[in-house]
Structure 1
Amino acid sequence: MTNNSEELHPQNVTNYFHALDGLQILAVDDNADSLFLTTCVLESYNVQVTTATSALEALEIIKKLKFDILIFDLAMPDMDGYTLINQIRNNVLLENRDIPAIALTALSSEESSSMAFLSGFQGYVNKPLDPNILVVEILKILRSSVLENGANSH
């Protein structure tokens, strides 16, 4: 157990290429370039990516489809990522309201990080996006859900 943190070091993410194979992820960002980059990074790991350009669009998609992980931009017009994750977590009608979520943001402050975790996110990644850091956050979430459930769902 002593090398767990070492295993998930950003330089070692290629060792986990197959760990992400086939994951279903919803990526939400109002910035088309950022959404494209996130999608390209995830698809390079053979992740199935569904995208939304607004929180309202994301809510509609979540009602219809199942995902392993959510990745939301925090600063979006109309409804921000904090509000979006709160709506998902507090919606008793959503059977998948406990899906792990990662906040993706250019707001790289201690306060925004704390607020993200308090709002219901399990991971936090700063923009500009470092693909290896995003993959490490996903791997941490997968590892914790495997530990909680006793077995990987894939």
Structure 2
Amino acid sequence: MFKKPISFKGLRLLVVDDDLDTRKLLTILFELEGAEVIAATSASEALEIILCFQADVLISDICLPDEDGYSLLRKVKKLDLERGRKTPAIALSAYVMDEDRKNAYLAGYQKYLQKPINLDELAKAVSELVQLQQYA
């Protein structure tokens, strides 16, 4: 559970990470707070899910087995453009160089969080993106 009680009731999240423990942890924690979570192990699996699941927020690892999170987000943005919507996105990465953070923002991620994940920071980032989306 998160330190501060945050309700994500009704929120739809897509979590993309090839690490089983990370996927399970994020899925369980957000579901306990009321979110609907679908998890994917790769960019290609995530893209298949996006075709039928409209996520309110995408949470994606940068280092994925088939293609990286940058490529995934570019494809998501292309689909969003076709559908007339925007999917806010959070990058998760073990990479800690300034260049890595810069690349994530250039790819279109609104937030960049380092691994190991601070769950309270992630909850805050999701909440901020949802609030921004509501006022967009």
TM-score, structure 1 length as denominator?
Answer: 0.80
| 1:90 equivalent in alignment to 2:78 | yes
Selected match of 1:22 from 6, 10, 33: 10
Does the 8 Å contact 2:12/2:54 carry over to 1? yes
Asked if 1:118 corresponds to 2:106, the answer is yes
Q: Is this contact kept in 1: 2:80–2:87, CA < 8 A?
A: no
Q: Give per-residue Cα distances to partners, 1:49-69, cap 9 Å, x unaligned.
A: 001111000000001111111
Q: Distance between the aligned counterparts of 1:96 and 1:68, measured in 2?
A: 14
Give how far 1:45 is off: 1.5
Task: Give the gaps of 5 or more residues in structure 1.
Answer: 1-10, 149-154
Match of 1:35 among 17, 23, 34: 23
Q: Give aligned-pair identity as a percent.
A: 36
What CA distance in whole angstroms lies between the structure 2 residues aligned with 1:94 and 1:53?
25
Quote the residue 2:68 is aligned against. 80
* Consecutive aligned runs of 4 or more in structure 1 exceeding 2 Å deviation: 90-94
Please give the TM-score of this superposition, normalised by the length of structure 2.
0.89
TM-superposed deviation, 1:91: 3.5
Give the equivalent residue in structure 1 for 2:54.
66
Unmatched tracts of structure 2, length 5 or more? none
Distance in 1 (CA, whole Å) between partners of 2:90 and 2:84 is 15
